[in-house]
Amino acid sequence: MTVYIDNSQHPLIIDSGAHCSIVGKNYLHNHFPNWEKKLLQTKAKNSKGSSGKKTSIGTIIKGIIIPHRKGNIRLNPEFVVLDDSHIQGFLLGTDYQRMYGIDICNSNNRHITIDVGRPYPPILRRPPYPAILETSKEIEKHINELLDIDIIRKIVHNEIVEITTPAIITLHDDKSRLFVDFRALNSYTKAYRYPMPRISHALDKLEKAKYITKMDCMKVFHQNGVKPNSTKLLRIICHVGIYEYTRIPFGIKNAPAHFQRMMDTIFQEEILEVWMVVYIDDISIYSETWEDHMQYIDIVLSKCTPINLKISLKKCNFGQQELLALGNKVSSLSLSIDQNKVAAVLQNPVPKNIKKM
């Protein structure tokens, strides 16, 4: 693909087999006259590649802009400079790719506990909802997808089942979604007390920023596990059987508070330094200067990698001066409501009598 580096176009290769990002010394010499002044010196060492041993002479940080129809993607990777590489351009390895993985990560000791007390009330033992043929096929498709990535497991014939919650299909933007009706379970679940951030306070901080980056955690609740003694409470029932969630499903009580506390713990220093806002799975980074902004993005991504916290690249907006964040349109000049949120109200005709009012 073609990307922009220092206001000029350059080829970029994304290599899922490379453990680091690299660029050749000859390519830098031909396209970046003063590149040696920005070279970060490291001890020269040999690495084995497909065409033999390669010698690295240091590293260099280059800001790259990837054109995207929904907003350019800005990254600031560190490239290993190879003395004898013949690559014509830059190669982006898995050191940056793994931060934007498309799979569901293996959670590292991030498990939720669900407590409903004993004995279990009869309302928690619910039968499956009836489903027409078309809906049944969609349920089967979603169940198989969740099984493939180990979000759920099938309950076998000799397991005792005390709690079941029905699963149904809902439509959103012409796409089907598996929806589990956890209302009964939630009504008996003991509340997990944790303060959630006030959106108005977060927006006040973003409004004063010149550069804003928004990141979105991928399938946020599925990135956290469930304690073994709580999975039996998350059993869903449908026409193809009974299944048990091993990761946190969407729609259960305490999931937002659990994830918010985890994020506040991980990014405690960054939040206290007042350049980052976290609201459940939405990460907002803001700064007055571009140099600080690039540094802040690297800090956040470097913390996401060791804990296997996946970021959804298609939902990211990097280094913008105006964007939608937390349901509002934010820029350094103004703060306004997202017009898509109020379109239905604005398009309604003006009421002409008390009844319509």
What is the tens place of the pLDDT at every residue in 184-207? Answer: 999 999 988 888 887 777 677 666
Q: Is the pLDDT of residue 342 over 70?
A: no
Can you tell me the mean pLDDT for 132-149?
89
pLDDT band at residue 354 under the 50/70/90 scheme: confident
What pLDDT does 166 receive?
Answer: 94
pLDDT at 71: 57
DSSP state of 29: H
DSSP annotation string for 143-206: HHHHHHTTSEEEPPTTS----BEEEEEEEETTEEEEEE--HHHHHHSPP---PPPPHHHHHHHH
Judge whether residue 70 has pLDDT over 70.
no
Beta bridge partners of 253: none
CA nearest to 328, candidates 287, 277, 290: 277
Summarised one tens digit per residue, pLDDT across range 110-121 is 788 888 877 888
Give me the phi and psi of 187, to 5 degrees please: -70, -20
Which of the two residues, 36 and 95, has the higher pLDDT score? 36
Give tens-digit pLDDT for 36-67: 888 887 654 444 444 445 678 888 888 888 87
Per-residue confidence (pLDDT) for residue 106, from 0 to 100: 52
> Once rounded to an integer, what is the mean pLDDT over residues 294-307?
85
Q: Rounded to an integer, what distance in angstroms lies between the CA atom of residue 208 and that of residue 333?
A: 8
CA 266/CA 244 separation, integer angstroms = 29
Tokens at residue 25, please? Answer: 């010394």
In the block, which residue shows the tokens 């920023």? 209
pLDDT band (50, 70, 90) for residue 156 = confident
Q: Are the CB atoms for 164 and 231 separated by under 8 Å?
A: no
Cα 255 from Cα 280, distance rounded (Å): 10
- Is the pLDDT confidence value at 152 over 80? yes
Q: Measured between alpha carbons, how far is residue 313 from residues 101, 141, 218, 240 in Å?
A: 8, 25, 9, 34
Q: Report percent pLDDT > 70 for the chain.
A: 80
Domains annotated on the chain, with CATH = 2-100 (2.40.70.10), 111-196+222-245 (3.10.10.10), 199-221+254-346 (3.30.70.270)
Residue 314 is predicted with a pLDDT of 79
Amino acid at 322: E
Average pLDDT, the chain: 81
Tokens coding 73? 């993607």
Strand order in the sheet with 317-320: 276-279, 282-287, 211-216, 317-320
The top-scoring range by mean pLDDT among 145-159, 200-214, 241-255 is 241-255
